[in-house]
Amino acid sequence: MHEIDLKKYQVRTDLILDSIVHQNLRDLEKKERLHGKIRTTEVYLDAKSAKTLDKMEGTYLTISFIDITDSSRQEQLGEVLVEELTHLLELSGIKATDKCFVVGLGNRESTPDALGPKVIDDILVTKYLFDFDPSQVSKEYRNVSAFIPGVMGSTGIESSDVILGIIERTKPDFLIVIDALAASNIDRCNKTIQLTDTGIHPGSGVGNSRKEISKATIGIPVIAIGVPTIVDAVTIVSDTIQFMLKQFSYNKENLRNHRHKLIPSIHRNYLNHQTNLTAKEKEQLLGMVGMLEEDQMKSLIFEVLTPIGYNLMVTPKEVDFVIEKLSKVISRSINQCLHPKLRKELEQRKSDKT
C-alpha cells in the first residue's frame, strides 16, 4: 500500500456544508430553520474558521430540499428562498432603494452550467425606466438591471472584466450573482441552494476559472446564489464505499431483528443509520481501503482515476428538467425580494391560502 501516494486530494466543492464536513469543523455553530421538508442551515465563518476551510469570512445560508417536480413544491421552495434572501440582504445592510445589478454566470450552451443565464432571462429589470424618468416609476419597484457576461470560450473576455466594466458605467449599489456549482456529495446535487454574502471566488463555479468578485474587490456588497449541478466520479465512488460500510453496519445491528428480515433488502433504507464498525470489521469488508479516512479515500480514488482520464464531471440525466424548474424558482424569488409590489402579491397569495 505504501506505493500508493496518499497526498491530500484537493476536494473540489463550492458548498460550505461539504467543506465543514470534510474539515471536521462539525462543532461550528449552526442555526437551523425548518419550513416543512425544506431546511435552512445558517453558518457564520469568522476569520479563523474561514482560514481553516480556505473559504471567505461571512454568512452562508444553505437551503436543502428533496424534490421540485410539482408546482406546489416549487412554490414552497420559492417562499423559503424569498425569506432567506431577504434575511441575507438585511444582514448585508442593503436598503429598499439600493440599486441592484443581477449577474448570471455560466454557459447557456452547456446544460449544467446554464443556470445563471436562465435565471437572468426572467429577472424583471427597471433600470432603463429610472434612467428615462425616475418620477414616472412607481415606488413599488426597485432600480434593477441584469446581465449575462457569457463564457471566455465564446467571448474571449474574462467575465469579471465584463462585470466590472458595466459596474463602472452603471454604478449599482449591490450585486446578486447566480452560478452553478460543483458538489462533493451526490445527495446535494440539484437539491441545494447556497446563499452567501462573500461573493464569487477563484476556482468556484462549474466553469472553474472565476476571478474574485466580492465587496473587498469592488466596494459594494456581493450576494452569491449557487446551486450544485455537477459532481465528479471521485465523489460518486467515495460516497458509495461509505454507503457500503454503513449498510454493512446497519445489517449487522439488525441481524437478529425478525421484523427487519421481512423487509426486502431493496427497501431497507439505512441512510440515517450511524456507521458503527470496528477497524477489524472494516478491514474484513474492504481491506486496506476500508480503513482509510474519507479524505484519504478520495485521494486514493483521485489517484486511480486521474492517470487514465476517467475522473469525469458528471450530471444526472434529468438535469435539463431540473435546471429549467430551478431557474424559474430562483428568478421569481429574486424578483419578489427586489420589488415591493411583487413581494406584496406573494404575501397576498400566502394569506389567501390560509
Out of 155, 217, 276, 348, point to the residue binding its own copies (CB under 8 A): 155
Question: Judged by CB under 8 A, which stretch of 52-60, 70-78, 121-129, 211-219 contacts its own copies?
Answer: 121-129
Stretch in the footprint of its own copies (CB under 8 A) among 37-45, 281-289, 326-334, 340-348 = 281-289
Q: Which of residues 227-266 bind its own copies (CB under 8 A)?
A: 230, 233, 236-237, 239-241, 243-244, 247-248, 251-252, 255, 265-266
Residue ranges in 188-217 that form contacts with its own copies under rule CB under 8 A: 206
Q: Is 305 left (phi over 0), alpha (psi -120 to 50) or beta?
A: alpha
Q: Which residue has the cell 466553469?
A: 207
Those residues with Cβ within 8 angstroms of residue 130's Cβ, 6 or more apart along the chain or in another chain:
137, 143
Contact call for residue 112 and its own copies (CB under 8 A): yes
Q: Of the candidates 72, 262, 279, 307, which one interacts with its own copies according to CB under 8 A?
A: 307
Chain-centre distance for alpha carbon 303? 26
**Contact assessment for residue 230 and residue 13, using Cβ atoms and an 8 Å cutoff:** no
Asked if 290 touches its own copies (CB under 8 A), the answer is yes
C-alpha cell at 313: 464531471
Q: Determine, following the binding rule CB under 8 A, whether residue 270 of this chain makes contact with its own copies.
A: yes
Q: Does 168 bind its own copies (CB under 8 A)?
A: yes
Q: Which residues contact 88 (CB under 8 A, 6 or more apart)?
A: 59, 61, 195, 196, 197, 223
Residues 32-61 binding its own copies (CB under 8 A) are none
Amino acid identity at 30: K
Shortest Å distance, C-beta 7 to its own copies = 9
Q: With the C-alpha atoms ordered 134, 137, 139, 140, is the resulting torsion angle positive or negative?
A: negative
From 28-36, 53-61, 90-98, 140-148, give the range in contact with its own copies by CB under 8 A.
140-148
